[in-house]
Amino acid sequence: MTIRAALFDFSGTLFRLEHPELESNGPLMRALTAPVGIADGMDPELVNAWHRRDLDPDVHRWVHVRVLKDSLVADAEAFYDQLLAPESWVPYPDTEATLEHLKDVPVAVVSNIGWDIRSVFELHGLTHLVDEFVLSYEEGVIKPDPKIFATACERLGVDPRHAVMVGDSEEADGGAESIGCSFRLVNPVPTSDRPNALLDVARTIPV
């Protein structure tokens, strides 16, 4: 079936959060970037807020700062701000080439996120390759809820059966299949370890 629109996850798919302190602390990296679930050993009083973090920027800040403090990160407030800085997000080597490869179909970034990632795309000169940003904190719904994928398809003006979702989580991003989208999985490894997997996936999409 011909694909008439492409949906992409943000973290672990098009970009990756890369920070020296996180690269040396695997559990903290997983806690901050895992698309679903909670970190091992999380304080029970944080669990509810953690599940709501991508729906409310204030909750996002509060619960992440608490996790950072619990992980003994010095000056957790400042560290949190660094994590949201566009400079802390590194595009995969083939991100631009992938979006260019699909420039003849509309593209949406569909992300569970508690802050505005548009500045990341602006920093790297990629905004013109994205037609829509469908962000959980703006939409009031998080993946894998089918509503967020349906919203993306509606804004791109395509039937979900003619759209593909590309992401790093079968549980979260794979939820697009519930409305008829096809799904492609990529591995959220460091950017240096994944030079062309995204472009290889894009080349399998019949547009």
Nearest-angstrom CA–CA distance, 42 and 111: 23
For the stretch 39-98, pLDDT in tens is: 666 777 788 888 899 999 999 999 889 888 887 788 889 989 999 999 999 999 999 999
Per the prediction, the chain carries an average pLDDT of: 91
Confidence of residue 154 (pLDDT cuts 50, 70, 90): very high
Confidence of residue 7 (pLDDT cuts 50, 70, 90): very high
Residues contacting residue 124 through CB under 8 Å, at least 6 positions apart: 86, 91, 95, 96
Q: How many CB atoms sit inside 10 A of residue 26's CB?
A: 9
The per-residue pLDDT for 50 is: 87
Tokens of 201: 């996936």
- Please report, rounded to a whole number, the percentage of residues in the chain having pLDDT higher than 70: 91
Confidence of residue 34 (pLDDT cuts 50, 70, 90): low
CA-based nearest residue to 26, from 71, 74, 62, 92: 71
Mean pLDDT over 100-123 rounds to 97
Nearest-angstrom CA–CA distance, 6 and 183: 10
The per-residue pLDDT for 72 is: 73
